[in-house]
Amino acid sequence: MKKAVLCFICIGILVLYTGCCVKKNQTEKGKEAKFTIVKEELIPEELESEIKKQKGKPFRLTYEDKGMLYIARGYGKKATTGYSVKVKKCEETENTIYFHTNLIGPSKQEEIVKKANNPHIVIALPVSDKTVIFE
């Protein structure tokens, strides 16, 4: 009987210890990637066409052209003007590029016009075979 109780206590302790684990952040810490924000008129035609095909839906696209990797992030149709997209993080590790953006709403001082728009951003980096992860 004492062995059964001792065995039960040991199993209980093991179960408690396995339930108390620390989960590590799965994103590796990388170095800041050097990128350029691409002006609307300089976006390659094929990429611009893909952006237009989204018809106001949120999107995450990558495109390669002439030695450059383009990363595009759109937030879908918004009913008013004043929205913008800011790059929060663009880091690269040995195998991955992490791209994180934020949608910034209209400021209270800004004059808002009820005109639909599709806030998005396109950045360009030298082409690489790294995987792009949108965060």
pLDDT digits (tens, 9 = 90+) for 104-131: 998 888 888 888 889 999 999 999 999 9
Tokens of 51: 């952006």
pLDDT digits (tens, 9 = 90+) for 26-74: 455 789 999 999 999 999 999 999 999 998 899 999 999 999 999 999 9
pLDDT value, residue 91: 96
Interatomic CA distance for residues 80 and 116, integer angstroms: 5
Higher pLDDT, 55 or 7: 55
Say whether pTM exceeds 0.85. Answer: no
Q: In the block, which residue shows the tokens 């396109």?
A: 122
